Amino acid sequence: MGTVAGNAEPHGPVGQGIAMTTTADTAPASIAETVDRLRATFDSGRTREIEWRRRQLRGLIDLVEQNEQRLIDAMVADLGKPRFEAWLTDLLTTRDEAKFALDHLSRWVAPTRYPVPMMAKPGKAWTEPQPVGVVTVIAPWNYPVQLLLAPLVGVLAAGNCAVLKPSELVPETSRTIAELVPHHLDPEAVAVVEGGVDVTTELLDVPVDHVLFTGSTRVGKVVMAAAAKNLTPVTLELGGKSPTIVAADANLEVAARRVAWAKFLNAGQTCIAPDYVLVERSVASRFTSLVVDELATLRDEAEATSIVNADHVRRLEGLLDGHGGEELLPRKVDPSSRVLAPVVVREPDPSSPLMQEEIFGPLLPVLTVDSIDDAIAFVQARPRPLALYVFTESAETERAVLQRTIAGSVCVNHLIYQVAVPSLPFGGVGPSGIGCYHGKAGFDTFSHHKPVLRRPTKGDLKAAYPPYPQVAQKVMRRIARWPSRR
């Protein structure tokens, strides 16, 4: 194993618990040394300068724009991603996130004024955002560029230093990002640490000021427990089973096309993919037929993303065993390319693993419900999802779903696209996540909004201090309007 040091090329397998960090020189750096170096940069004060932040955001834009082919080649090598899909889902979204932050940074960093109550007058109150320090970003493999660099936008916009940990399951993408980061971002403020589970464990043991983790709920619990040892705040972007509700009044053709697209995208390996569909009984047969046709067309005509590895292929095949439903598309898998064709499962047993575990693959359960109320009750009875989708032409149905369900995000009459809106916060709730980022929400997540009160020294009345004269007590009670006047 080697180290990534400046322009050095790493050698050997990735993911065996060996730390590799980008540095400004050629000396290998341990994780603790890397964090110490970043903290020294932060303590120097230069990351607080708004021009430094702008330079980093421009550098991030350049990183994805100028290295489009290298990054796409890496994702194709790791995941078999279609090239256009890799550009659309990983590079474009990351670029747009950085551009949005760059365009709005001046407003985000400005102090916010707050009203002062009569008892605190004369005085002025405000908050001023300040960076928290060193932030660790731990990314998954399914969108390996976006889910590593999009959180970095908020980290840099807020004026922090960052440790980036790509997934060891995408070694080519990890290595490419590790090589590119020092060329486009301040190498004394942003470091890439490569390696496997042991490296992540070691990284979590080193005190930092915030950790953002994207991945499974199971691993999210491990990350949160590790961070708790140092009282480190966490943002957890997790997953779960994101439901899609199809109402009787929905445009069924559009709903089927969009559900099929969202399930086929990245072979269903998306944290906000539609995990299952609840469709009203009166249109269930029609919708199911339409979505089967759409997925059959995609199976035959569209370029598919590979399942990440053979273990995940076996896991997905296992979910198809014992589901108790009817498979409406034949099973088809190419072991050499790890491409698993989409399968629709009608009326699976709700207690089966297919309906209990997050699928994270191109399998689509479709269940019939008697009413929207039943669909809402089905969702309410299960852990709160990262995303929820509803197809309806009725404002009343839309409002009922929005008001009576709890989910990290909702998209009405489409899927996935809510994550592509850079101004819209994105995050989970309950077991699907803690906290959010994107746009100003990301800036706020990685900032401490420090409250400040300033009072003048002139006119400092002795009566405002003990022992309080009776007249002063009466005046202060009158100013405070105690008891309250209603």
Q: Catalytic residue numbers?
A: 237, 271
User: 123 near 460, Cβ under 8 Å?
Assistant: no
In the 3-class helix/strand/coil scheme, how is the chain assigned residue by residue? CCCCCCCCCCCCCCCCCCCEECCCCCCCCCHHHHHHHHHHHHHHCHHHCHHHHHHHHHHHHHHHHHCHHHHHHHHHHHHCCCHHHHHHHHHHHHHHHHHHHHHHHHHHCCCEEECCCHHHCCCEEEEEEEECCEEEEECCCCCCCHHHHHHHHHHHHCCCEEEEECCCCCHHHHHHHHHHHHHHCCCCCEEEEECCHHHHHHHHHCCCCEEEEECCHHHHHHHHHHHHCCCCCEEEECCCCCEEEECCCCCHHHHHHHHHHHHHHHHHCCCCCCCEEEEEHHHHHHHHHHHHHHHHHHHHHCCCCCCCCHHHHHHHHHHCCCCCCEECCCCCEECCCCEECCEEEECCCCCCHHHHCCCCCCEEEEEEECCHHHHHHHHHCCCCCCEEEEECCCHHHHHHHHHHCCCCEEEECCCCHHHHCCCCCEECCHHHEECEECHHHHHHHCEEEEEEEECCCCCCCHHHCCCCCHHHHHHHHHHHCCCCCC
Cα 259 to Cα 182, 256, 275, 406: the distances in Å are 40, 5, 10, 21
Give the type of residue at 135: V
Dihedral over Cα of 343, 146, 194, 8: its sign = positive
Q: Give the bridge partners for 433, in sequence order.
A: 237
Distance CA 212, CA 233 (A): 9
Phi-psi domain of 267 (left: phi exceeds 0; alpha: psi -120 through 50; beta: other): left
Distance CA 408, CA 402 (A): 11
> Of 356, 359, 308, 264, nearest to 143 (Cα)?
308
